[in-house]
Amino acid sequence: MIKVKGLYHSYLKDGKYAVKDVNFEVGEGEIFGFLGPSGAGKSTTQGILTGLLQLQKGDVTVAGYDIKNISRKMFNKIGVSFEQSNVYNKMTAKENLSFYARLFDVETRDPLELIELVGLKGKENIKTGEFSKGMKHRLVFARSMINNPTMWFLDEPTTGLDPAIAAAIKDIIKDRNKMGVTVFLTTHNMYIADELCDRVGFIVEGEIKLIDSPKNLKLQYGEKLVEVEYTQNGSVKKDCFSTILQKDKDALNKIINEKEILTMHTKEATLEEIFIKVTGRELV
Amino acid sequence: MLKRIWFIFLRDIRINLRELMTVYMLVIPLILAVGINFLSPGINDTSVNLVLVKDENPEQAAYFDDFAHVQLMDNQQEVEYRIAERDDVLGVLAGDNGYYILAQGNEPESVVEYARLLNVLYESEVKLEDARSEIIEFGRTAPPLKKMLVNILLLLITMLAGMLISMNILEEKVDQTVAAINVTPTTRKAFILGKGFTGMFVAIISSIAVILITGFYSINIGQAVLVILSVTIISLVIGFLQGLNSDDFMEAAGSVKLLFLPMAGSIAGYEFVKGNWQIFFYWSPFYWAYRANDMILSKSGSWPQLILYVGIILVICGGIYALLARRIVRGLQ
Ligand SMILES: Nc1ncnc2c1ncn2[C@@H]1O[C@H](COP(=O)(O)OP(=O)(O)O)[C@@H](O)[C@H]1O
Ligand SMILES: [Mg+2]
């Protein structure tokens, strides 16, 4: 569904790259998660893939279309949910969706049904200018489904939502995917990524550090993490070390030799911890 | 393509009719048109009032009715009473050698002349079609001040249309909705045309309304619409750019400032600058629009002349659009 080769993008064309040498493929029916801290280049990548940003360097095909000479027809198959909650503030929720639906050439879904699906039932006739940020974000998410896309781009669909609603959004994505929809998902929520994604790509400072399935990553890193509790200057400290990375092994050695160990055991790593291990960066 | 242009246009109009500010912008030309009527009387309101005897000569009464206010009385006696009542009412009565004009004596001479002329025209069986030009020449039909004010108002309307566009573009900018439109099958061209159509539509509707309110029914409205449409292009282009480049309402409304000076200059140029020097205004599409409208409002123009003026306007506006189109398209990314 998506093929990206040697993708570079510099906003100011000044040699500073927001994404550099990005390569990946997303198969049909797959949920691919793009994980990284903010400013990593996730939205930039999605922007290029959806034709919103001009392709500067690299080869990109989406749903069989070469992004270099994009065809407007492509967008009948594509759904895009934005990071910014970009709806018409002067229109009601329902009007927003109805207007948007008319811009497509394919059969579209009932606005009211979608509004209900994202938990905004009863709010359909309220102007979105009066919505909270989270409500607008859900509406943008709902809007991205209106043309029954087979290729679905979701930029931070759960960011800023409370956990119950985030879980509901997650279930919707899962359901659509079961019907064969391919999903390109950008997030820094590791739990969502862990549960949803067939494969994840870790991106930091514009570069992909690793691509694999969450399951493989856990097999690879998970069982080789050691959590140590020890005392330092009279207070209790807790640290987590990999047993494969030399740097971690050295540090662990030092603690065992020099500090008083309280507890020590191996554990299954979360995706977040794996991310930190692999990239050396926190996911914020 | 057409479908999407239509829905984008429809959305804009609907939102504009909902907002106090934009409704105000739509209504203000109409208020000004009513104001013009107060300042100077209607073109068909000849301010000549005639009183005739009812059923005495219905054909004559109908003929006069096309050019003056006609009131019918039951008999000659009542006509005389009526004339004594108010200043500028004249009676047209049957006498021994044809009709005569009955006046009180203090009516303006031109009014009496007018009534006399009408009577002569009727008696010599001049048809309405033949007579019209002479009547207009007589200087009573389209007061120059009124013609000028209406012409200015028509240009102001194109400016308001530009302002409306800039506000609608600003809305898309503030709400960041262009990105959402850009991931639908909507082309940039359709988007720009849809938005532009809103301005065109408002310009046409308001212009026709102003023409009707001020009583210029008998001019060729199609010609006027053609001129308005062609000159509105420039306001729309400026409106687009201004909307894209501003961050708030006041800035967006500033497009008016950009257009106002060339517009006012062109009008003053046409009205007050003598003969050969007018060449210094030939660059301005507003000059040509004003000149074309002046011709249309005084019903003195021909189609070839009009096509020439509209052609000049289109060439200038087309040039300006070509210069700025890339900036607009880039701004929409
Ligand atoms: N419009 C822009 N102009 C210039 N730089 C930008 C623009 N948008 C994003 N950037 C920069 O590009 C980098 C990647 O941003 P982005 O793709 O938005 O990251 P993410 O979505 O992963 O948070 C950041 O350093 C950001 O500052
Ligand atoms: Mg982002």
CB B15 within 8 A of CB B165: no
Each residue of B260-290: b (16+ CB within 10 Å) or e?
eebbebbbebbeeeeeeeeeebeebbbbbbb
Measured N-to-C along each axis, helices B144-175 and B20-39 cross at an angle, to the nearest 10 degrees, of: 180
Give the closest residue to B290 by CA, choosing from B86, B191, B153: B153
Facing residue for B185 by CB, picked from A84, A104, A140: A104
User: Measured between beta carbons, which residues in chain B are less than 8 angstroms from residue A99?
Assistant: 7, 11
Q: Which residues line ligand 1 (CB under 6 A)?
A: A 11, 18, 36, 38-44
Q: For residue A77, what is the nearest residue in chain B, using CA coordinates?
A: B184
User: Structural domain boundaries of chain B?
Assistant: 2-39+141-331, 49-130
Mean pLDDT of chain A: 91
Q: Token digits for A246?
A: 């030399």
Query: How far, in Å, is the centroid of ligand 2 from the Cα of A156?
Result: 7
3-state SS assignment for residue B12 = helix
- What pLDDT is stored for residue B228 in this prediction? 94
As a whole number, mean pLDDT of residues A252-281 equals 84
In this structure, the residue with its CA closest to atom 26 of ligand 1 is: A39
Q: In one letter, which amino acid is A73?
A: K
Burial level of A3, CB count in 10 A (0-12/13-18/19+)?
A: middle
Residue with token string 């000569």? B57
Q: What number is the average pLDDT over the span B321-325?
A: 88
Its sign, for the CA torsion A221, A226, A232, A234, is: positive
For the segment B192-210, the average pLDDT, to the nearest whole number, is 95
The residue nearest atom 4 of ligand 1, judged by CA position, is A11
* Domain definitions of chain A by residue range: 2-218, 223-267
The residue with tokens 């009601």 is A92
A86 with B171: Cβ contact below 8 A: no
pLDDT digits (tens, 9 = 90+) for B216-273: 888 889 999 999 999 999 889 888 888 888 888 787 777 667 788 888 999 988 988 8
- The ligand minimizing its distance to the Cα of A41 is 1
Nearest CA to ligand 1 atom 12: A18
Separation of B186 CA from ligand 2 center, angstroms? Answer: 24
Q: How far is CA B157 from CA A159, B74, B164, B227, B273, in A?
A: 46, 48, 10, 12, 24
Query: Do the Cβ atoms of B185 and A73 come within 8 Å?
Result: yes
Contact list, B173 vs chain A (CB under 8 Å): none
ipTM score assigned to the predicted complex? 0.85
3-state secondary structure of B45: coil
> pLDDT by residue (tens digit) across A182-213?
999 998 888 888 999 999 999 999 999 999 99
Q: Are B152 and B294 in contact (CB under 8 A)?
A: no
B210 CA from centroid of ligand 1 (Å): 51
- Does CATH place domain A2-218 in 3.40.228.10? no
Task: State the average pLDDT over residues A14-20.
Answer: 92
- Ligand 1 pocket test, pick from A10, A22, A44 with the greatest ligand atom count within 8 Å of Cβ, gives A44
Select from A52, A72, A86 the Cβ nearest to the Cβ of B177: A86
pLDDT bracket for residue A234 (50, 70, 90): confident
* Beta strand A65-66 pairing with A57-62: antiparallel
A60 CB-side CA count, 13 A: 23
Instruction: Check: CB of residue B231 under 8 Å from CB of residue B149.
Output: no
Report the alpha-carbon distance of residue B56 to residue B75 in Å, rounded: 9
**Taking residues B309-319, what's their average pLDDT?**
93
Instruction: Determine the pLDDT at residue A46.
Output: 96
Q: Say if pTM beats, i.e. exceeds, 0.80.
A: no
Report the first-to-last Cα separation within chain B, whole angstroms.
Answer: 19
Report whether A214 contacts A221 (CB < 8 A): no
Q: Which residues of A touch B3 (CB under 8 A)?
A: 102
How does residue A238 score in pLDDT terms, banded at 50, 70 and 90? confident
According to DSSP, the residues that pair with A226 across neighbouring strands are A241, A266
**A89: which chain B residues are within 8 Å (Cβ-Cβ)?**
174-175
Question: Per residue in B79-137, pLDDT tens?
Answer: 888 887 755 688 888 887 788 888 877 666 667 777 887 888 787 777 655 544 444 44
pLDDT in tens, B273-304: 877 888 888 999 999 999 999 999 888 878 99
